[in-house]
């Protein structure tokens, strides 16, 4: 997996739309590297290699190495623009990483014990509202994923953002906005769909 976190790139000087279109036709992905007090750098990457790297979920929530023009810089993926109907990466944004500066990153959620939960054993149905959450932390604290353990969840109960166990130094962005942003991440609902905590909060 270590190789998945290295992106080989080349500098580009022409920033026009027409040039970007030609790059895509040549199998390249236009990209930009910015942040951490450095000047933005326009780059291009091999499309097939990018697609292969993005097949690994961990790529989205890891510190990456961007190699270009004989240099190496650490960064995270900040944005990916995809074609609306074709499997084409249109553009990528990489944000530089400074070990002393906190970063905001979306990390995936891994759900455990859905079928072994208290509610599932009673016939309840597992549902989830989120697949990832946005966190803030120092680069050295960045987790690969956050676990959502459903083992003790009964019918009509759910796991909220505030219930998640986070590594030290990691904060959830939504919770910084107040208690009313404490969303339901996942729940065990009645098989009839009438007793789920997510349904109750949606009605409220």
Residue 108: closest CA among 53, 140, 61, 56? 61
> Helices in the chain by DSSP H: which ranges?
17-25, 47-54, 118-121, 197-203
pLDDT band at 21 (very low <50, low <70, confident <90, very high): confident
| Domain stops at, among 65, 96, 127 | 96
Q: What is the mean pLDDT of the chain?
A: 91
Percent of the chain past pLDDT 70, that is, above it, reads 92
Q: Are residues 22 and 46 in the same domain?
A: yes
pLDDT band at 114 (very low <50, low <70, confident <90, very high): very high
Residues in the chain, overall count:
204
State how far the Cα of 45 lies from the Cα of 26, in Å rounded to an integer: 11
pLDDT at 3 over 90: no
Pairing mode, if any, of strands 89-96 and 28-35? parallel
- Owning domain of residue 22: 2-96
Q: Are residues 10 and 92 in the same domain?
A: yes
Q: Are residues 174 and 145 in the same domain?
A: yes
| Domain stops at, among 96, 113, 144 | 96
Q: Are residues 63 and 149 in the same domain?
A: no
The number of distinct structural domains making up the chain is 2
Least confident piece of the model among 8-17, 50-59, 101-110, 144-153: 8-17
Q: Are residues 120 and 37 in the same domain?
A: no
In the DSSP assignment, the letter for residue 153 is: P
pLDDT at 204 over 70: no
Q: Are residues 63 and 110 in the same domain?
A: no
Mean pLDDT, to the nearest integer, of 149-178? 97
CATH number of residue 156's parent domain: 2.170.120.20
Number of neighbouring beta carbons within 10 Å of residue 173: 15
Whole-angstrom CA distances from 115 to 61, 69, 154, 163, 192 are 27, 50, 12, 19, 17
Which stretches does DSSP call E strand in the chain?
6-11, 28-35, 38-46, 64-68, 71-82, 89-96, 103-112, 125-128, 132-137, 146-149, 157-160, 171-172, 184-189
Contact of 113 with 147, CB cutoff 8 Å: no
pLDDT at 186 over 70: yes
Mean pLDDT, to the nearest integer, of 5-27? 88
């Amino acid at each position: 997996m270590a190789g998945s976190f290295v992106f080989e790139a080349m500098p580009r000087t022409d920033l026009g739309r027409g040039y970007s279109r030609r790059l895509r036709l040549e199998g390249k992905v236009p990209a930009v590297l910015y942040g951490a007090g450095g000047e933005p750098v326009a780059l291009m990457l091999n499309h097939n290699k990018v697609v292969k790297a993005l097949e690994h979920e961990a790529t989205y929530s890891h510190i990456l190495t961007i190699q270009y023009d004989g240099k190496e810089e650490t960064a995270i993926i900040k944005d990916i623009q995809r074609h609306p109907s074709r499997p084409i990466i249109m553009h990528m944004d990489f944000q530089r990483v400074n070990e002393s500066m906190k970063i905001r990153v979306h990390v995936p959620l891994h759900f455990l014990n859905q079928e072994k939960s208290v509610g599932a054993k009673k016939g309840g149905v597992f549902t989830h509202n989120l697949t990832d959450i946005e966190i803030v932390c120092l680069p050295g604290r960045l987790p690969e994923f956050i676990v959502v353990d459903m083992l003790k969840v009964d019918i009509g109960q759910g796991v909220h953002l505030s219930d998640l166990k986070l590594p030290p130094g990691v904060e959830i962005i939504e919770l910084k906005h107040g208690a009313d942003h404490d969303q339901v991440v996942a729940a065990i609902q009645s098989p009839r769909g009438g007793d789920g905590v997510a349904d109750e909060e949606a009605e409220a």
